[in-house]
Chains A and B, each alone.
Chain A
């Protein structure tokens, strides 16, 4: 191998890099002229994205003439890398709060254009419209239980989750990095340890972990949301903190699993637009379509995830209606909980360290 040859390899590398750069320039040319073009929508994949496709994407594409491309799954790391490298291929993304819907802390989002998006509809609703993200759906973490284990006297609330005498058996609990606020298990632990609901935040993490430590021998940790219903339906665990939509799917598929709604933790999912997205105008339009009062309720016709627009309506005949979080707003001790996202964003590292130590112990 000689110097000339090495030079040749190096220049080939340069050519390759130049080609890649041209590719990303090319994508910019597609940016949305109204009434055409395209837009890329990214969600988490699976049955939820199929529901989005039927409820929103297909009708939108038909009505607007805009071609909607789809990708999955949403990954914060990917968005950060895209923006950092200036090679953005996603436009509209379904994401959790932690991407920065309120303060754009990661600096990767475009502001929502309230001239296009009906932000005003949300003013008095439970789910707030933020500068960088619009709420699009609600879902909740429910108490999933194995119907064979508790045929006669099924649990009804997270109070039963912590009662291992009355309801013996393993509990499946989500672990992993607390980006999902640990699915609210710390909040539930504190409420069942006697902390008043209006005094939950700032969370007493040590006390919550001590409560969980008291049932540690009965905990089975899982790291992937799909594992939850598997663990419960198979009997590996008798209860778990699973997502309502997934429990309903498993139940409909004939698995021995059902859910209780006492102290459900209600979460909101958001739509965000990636900074420098090649088709951001079309992304604003698709976003507006999904959260508008005319369309937002359609998702619940496809999957058990509820609307966020207070003016949206759900088709009464939807088979998923009975499993929507909003249909099970219990009172008193069994009322729904919701995590304080801003507190979690500020304390994630602290909780993460304590939680990891607890799990590993």
Chain B
């Protein structure tokens, strides 16, 4: 055994014990408790299918909006003076490091019928009845976007800061207008970061539990909530396991497809290196 295998051993054993073995057990259980009909039930019962579609749809929407919001933010961070960079970074990281539980509850206080927005609009006399901002998919969307946005910004920023500003300058020097220089030079080079951010947000979003539970409405459960209900309320751990496996396979497929376009390294956070590699090509 060489040095690095030895050094990696504790991590491998740890992950194997706390993640690998349980994962195998869950897969086995999804087929045996009570049997493979778990999967049949999932793919024929509209409650499960509905929650899977809802989860994917919500995650996609959140991903798209996060990218649109994150790109300009990351661009500003990458190209600003040190002071602005610090300011933007501090804002981002403060949000990032604040517990998602706290942020979710804060959104509750903002979006409630008696919350800040509705109270304000009612006091102004703009509306009579409170707007339906809470206990629906809109609230879940807002909450999830807030929690996931920093992942997109950080992934895109990591790529943008490695793109040599001189490339853009060269384009400008040769007569390209700034807009063209951006779309022809900077944007294509930053795509690995965009892809990394998109995949991070999408995959993490698929597993969101707390935010949809607290901000969402009844009858609009996401997959994670269905899993919890199967275990806690209906005592059907086998079916919960099958639901988890479906979600896991889906995530696996996404990653396989994604790695055809960007390196796996980019997805797990090595966007900087890949960005440089691509820039060098």
Contacts and interface: CB of A to CB of B under 8 A. Distances in A.
Interface of A: 1, 5, 9, 12-13, 16, 75-77, 80-81, 106, 170, 175-177, 179, 220-221, 223, 234-236, 352, 356, 359-361
23 contacts: A1-B5, A5-B1, A9-B12, A9-B13, A13-B16, A13-B21, A75-B232, A76-B235, A77-B232, A77-B235, A81-B237, A106-B235, A176-B233, A177-B233, A177-B234, A179-B233, A220-B135, A221-B218, A223-B218, A234-B112, A236-B112, A356-B219, A359-B218
Nearest to B119: A235
A236 B112 CA distance: 7
B217 interface: yes
A325 B212 CA distance: 35
Interface string B13-26: 10011000100000
Contacts of B235: 76-77, 80, 106
B94 interface: no
B213 interface: yes
B186 interface: no
Contacts of B234: 177, 352
Contacts of A106: 235
B229 interface: yes
Contact of B113 (A9, A16, A170, A179): A170
A35 B114 CA distance: 56
Contact of A175 (B13, B47, B218): B218
B217 A221 contact: yes
Interface of B: 1, 5, 9, 12-13, 16-17, 21, 47, 112-114, 135, 213, 217-220, 229, 231-235, 237
A77 B9 CA distance: 34
B7 to A, nearest CB: 13
A76 B235 CA distance: 8
A35 B42 CA distance: 52
Nearest to B236: A77
Given A13-B17, A76-B232, A234 B114 contact: yes
Contact of A361 (B5, B47, B219, B232): B219
A77 B114 CA distance: 36
Nearest to A173: B218
Nearest to B47: A356
Given A16-B17, A77-B231, A359 B219 contact: yes
A5 B218 CA distance: 51
Contacts of B17: 13, 16
A229 to B, nearest CB: 14
A3 B226 CA distance: 41
A145 to B, nearest CB: 15
Contacts of A81: 237
A176 B234 CA distance: 11
Contacts of B114: 234-236
B130 to A, nearest CB: 9
A360 B218 contact: yes
Given A76-B232, A234-B114, A235-B114, A5 B219 contact: no
Contacts of A16: 17
Given A236-B113, A356-B47, A12 B232 contact: no
Given A13-B13, A75-B232, 4 more contacts: A106-B235, A221-B135, A221-B217, A356-B219
A221 B13 CA distance: 45
A359 B240 CA distance: 22
Contacts of B21: 13
Contacts of B9: 9
Given A106-B235, A234-B114, A12 B13 contact: yes
A360 B220 CA distance: 7
A176 B233 CA distance: 8
Residue of B13, B218, B234 with most partner-chain A CB within 10 A: B218
A5 B5 contact: yes
A143 to B, nearest CB: 20
A105 to B, nearest CB: 11
A16 B234 CA distance: 32
B49 to A, nearest CB: 13
Nearest to B8: A1
Contacts of B113: 170, 236
Contacts of A170: 113
B30 to A, nearest CB: 15
